[in-house]
């Protein structure tokens, strides 16, 4: 199992205009892709994230759970966790994806 830490993904990612579900951070050379399960099974979330450094292989990052808080800036908010159980907030709008500590 791949081990990753939330602090490695904290930051802002800009939407790719060619692939609209892909968000990229040039300083980190990191892409995050928003994926959607067409028919999620019981216990699975509809949305999840995968990540890729440079042109490397994509790896599963986290499931996205709906947040009870709503953003005042018109963004969608989701809860994520890393492999150690640290919680983060994913904020998503038409132009960017932001990850921060919860």
Contact 84, 101 (CB under 8 A): no
Low-confidence ranges of the chain (pLDDT < 50): none
pLDDT at 84: 86
How far apart are alpha carbons 22 and 51 in whole angstroms?
Answer: 9
Cα-flanking dihedrals φ and ψ of residue 35, to 5°? -115, 155
Residue 35, class by beta-carbon neighbours within 10 Å (0-12 exposed, 13-18 middle, 19+ buried)? middle
pLDDT at 1: 59
How far apart are alpha carbons 32 and 6 in whole angstroms?
Answer: 13
């Amino acid at each position: 199992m791949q081990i990753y830490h939330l602090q490695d993904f904290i930051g802002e990612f800009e939407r790719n205009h060619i692939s609209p579900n892909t968000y990229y951070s040039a300083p980190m050379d990191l892409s995050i892709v928003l994926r959607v399960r067409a028919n999620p099974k019981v216990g699975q979330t509809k949305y999840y994230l995968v990540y890729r450094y440079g042109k490397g292989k994509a790896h599963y990052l986290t499931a996205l759970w709906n947040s009870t808080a709503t953003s005042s800036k018109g963004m969608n908010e989701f809860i994520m966790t890393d492999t150690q159980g640290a919680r983060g907030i994913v904020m998503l709008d038409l132009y960017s994806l932001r990850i921060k500590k919860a």
